[in-house]
């Protein structure tokens, strides 16, 4: 039971990545350190609602 989620940069708030996550395993929201093209550096990306 995977669900498609969108990740948002915590600094510039741009929606850069879409990933899938398993709702049964990961109940809380995802936080990943990814590269932001707009900022030009690695930042924390959080899952949107």
pTM above 0.85, yes or no: no
Contacts of 10 (CB under 8 A, 6+ apart): 43, 44, 45, 46
3-state helix, strand, coil in the chain (%, to 5): 0, 60, 40
**What are the backbone dihedrals phi and psi of residue 7, each rounded to the nearest 5 degrees, phi first?**
-100, 140
pLDDT, residue 37, reads 93
pLDDT, residue 10, reads 93
Query: In this predicted model, which residue has the larger pLDDT, 32 or 26?
Result: 32
Average pLDDT over residues 2-7: 93
Using pLDDT thresholds of 50, 70 and 90, give the confidence band for residue 18: very high
Domains in the chain and their CATH numbers? Answer: 2-47 (2.20.28.120)
pLDDT, residue 39, reads 92
């Amino acid at each position: 039971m995977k669900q498609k989620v969108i990740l948002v940069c915590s600094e510039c708030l741009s929606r850069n990545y879409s990933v899938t996550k398993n709702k049964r395993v990961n109940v809380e929201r995802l936080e990943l350190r990814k590269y932001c093209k707009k900022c030009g550096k690695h930042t924390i990306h959080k899952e949107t609602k």
